[in-house]
A = this chain, B = another copy of it.
């Protein structure tokens, strides 16, 4: 519990205008975009520097006050919901670009900057930060979750772009990790301990990112298949053939029908793959597309040569699947399944997910970053009505267990948060104990985002 004295001391650190205990702010910081029940913090603080965060954490650590870093609030597993109350550190005032070194393909940013604004700033240099999780996430949140999104197949995850990190440990110590070298073998790679740690080990305050050149050329294709199985098999064949598309996305026929309706796309309402190839050479992309045509020769329809406008509309529609479902069913909530398996098992996973929906009598949509074996299923339920939520939870658990049986992971990109904790023992076995020891080492009082991941 935060005492009045704690609040006074916090106000002394950040000034009274950057601390709130108001109902509306507590409410805004009680929920992310997931189905997990909201839980309010006792106060929200908006720090402006690592030094302020250091002072806050020293106080919180000595008083054993829970501290949950808050980024864009766009997560899908309850990752930043302050389930034990305490303090939320809203990072969004720390949104500066600290430097851009185009000649090194590097940028240094504060953690609260969102990636869309970062990419706007980078465009004039012909550079970009490729990970794109869809929602307008902050760089800090993306690092904390090792966010991936549609372009990870070609460009890697958020963590793969992190050259350096500044973090504030629960003791208040400010630590710099990594360097500006693109590769290093210098000691333990501690950066990677914090990447994907979901705010349970430290607060990420600054990030040095390695960038990519904006591709000069792109080619997109849409392939519609007669059956789910054929679409899923094509994924494994395309990747097995050595193709590295910038994006390779799967959608089932219900998802295509939905985005057709809301975006007037006129796609055949069949299991579908969206592909995009990016590079500096048009000829190379044409070669890639030729290989796609060969592999997908038996598909229901194969459309290539999309113009930029048509391609942008497709990707926007893909990005907005989650929002479109919300719009289509305003009284309905959804659990977003997020698993990944080795590619050869992708057909089994997709068919199992489809079966699980039917088996549990649920309406749902299947889609995902197929090129990395990723599958999402958005399982709909009417909150408070009957046992629909229980059935959706059961279907989610069944799909996760199937993914683990197939050699995969309980969470491809959304993180563990609240929703995937119950699968950690099954996925990690004895190494979970090692994670617990590391948590206890870095955060002995358990103040950092308690109740998450472990």
CB-CB contacts of A341-369 with B at 8 A, as 1s and 0s? 11110000000000000000000000000
CA distance A8 to B177 in the complex (A): 45
Query: Are B372 and A187 interface neighbours, CB within 8 A?
Result: no
Give the bracket for the number of chain A residues in contact with chain B: 35 or more
A374 within 8 A of B: yes
CB-CB contacts of A123-165 with B at 8 A, as 1s and 0s? 0001000000000000000000111100010000101100000
Which residues does chain B contribute within 8 Å of A402, judged by CB atoms?
none
CB-CB contacts of A188-202 with B at 8 A, as 1s and 0s? 111011011100010
A4 within 8 A of B: no
Q: How far is the CB of A34 from chain B (nearest CB, A)?
A: 14
Pick the contact of A186: B242, B281, B283, B409 (CB < 8 A).
Answer: B409
Query: Are B185 and A416 interface neighbours, CB within 8 A?
Result: yes
Query: Are B186 and A420 interface neighbours, CB within 8 A?
Result: yes
Which residues does chain B contribute within 8 Å of A126, judged by CB atoms?
242
A239 within 8 A of B: yes
Query: Are A187 and B424 interface neighbours, CB within 8 A?
Result: yes
CA distance A435 to B438 in the complex (A): 12
Of all chain B residues, which has the CB nearest A410? Answer: B186
A117 within 8 A of B: no
Q: A240-B102, A284-B279, A343-B103 are in contact. Are A409 and B192 (CB under 8 A)?
A: no
Which residues does chain B contribute within 8 Å of A291, judged by CB atoms?
280
Which residues does chain B contribute within 8 Å of A182, judged by CB atoms?
340, 342-343, 372-373
CA distance A195 to B408 in the complex (A): 21
Query: Are B428 and A186 interface neighbours, CB within 8 A?
Result: yes
Q: What is the oligomeric copy number?
A: 2
Of all chain B residues, which has the CB nearest A102? Answer: B240
Which residues does chain B contribute within 8 Å of A152, judged by CB atoms?
183
A287 within 8 A of B: yes
CA distance A192 to B287 in the complex (A): 36
A413 within 8 A of B: yes
A327 within 8 A of B: no
CA distance A187 to B160 in the complex (A): 16
Q: How far is the CB of A276 from chain B (nearest CB, A)?
A: 16
Query: Are B344 and A187 interface neighbours, CB within 8 A?
Result: no
Pick the contact of A196: B174, B189, B243 (CB < 8 A).
Answer: B189
A61 within 8 A of B: no
Query: Are A435 and B187 interface neighbours, CB within 8 A?
Result: yes
Q: Which residues of A267-294 are within 8 A (CB) of B?
A: 279-281, 283-284, 286-288, 291
A181 within 8 A of B: yes
Q: A409-B186, A410-B186 are in contact. Are A181 and B430 (CB under 8 A)?
A: no
Query: Are B287 and A104 interface neighbours, CB within 8 A?
Result: no
A330 within 8 A of B: no
Query: Are A408 and B180 interface neighbours, CB within 8 A?
Result: yes
Query: Are A412 and B373 interface neighbours, CB within 8 A?
Result: no
Q: How far is the CB of A107 from chain B (nearest CB, A)?
A: 12
Q: Which residues of A348-405 are within 8 A (CB) of B?
A: 372-374, 403
Q: How far is the CB of A124 from chain B (nearest CB, A)?
A: 15
CA distance A291 to B201 in the complex (A): 45
A453 within 8 A of B: yes
> Top 8 A-B pairs ranked by shortest CB distance?
A284-B284, A213-B242, A283-B283, A192-B192, A180-B407, A184-B409, A281-B287, A281-B284
Q: Measuring CB to CB, which residues of chain A are less than 8 angstroms from any residue of chain B?
A: 101-106, 126, 145-148, 152, 157, 159-160, 169, 173-177, 179-190, 192-193, 195-197, 201, 212-213, 236, 239-243, 279-281, 283-284, 286-288, 291, 340-344, 372-374, 403, 407-416, 420, 424, 427-432, 434-435, 437-438, 441-442, 453-454
In the complex, besides A187-B453, A187-B454, 12 extra interface pairs with C-beta distance below 8 angstroms are: A103-B240, A174-B430, A177-B431, A179-B408, A182-B342, A185-B411, A186-B410, A187-B424, A189-B196, A190-B434, A242-B280, A284-B284
6 pairs from A and B in contact (CB 8 Å cutoff): A103-B240, A157-B183, A179-B407, A181-B342, A182-B343, A187-B435
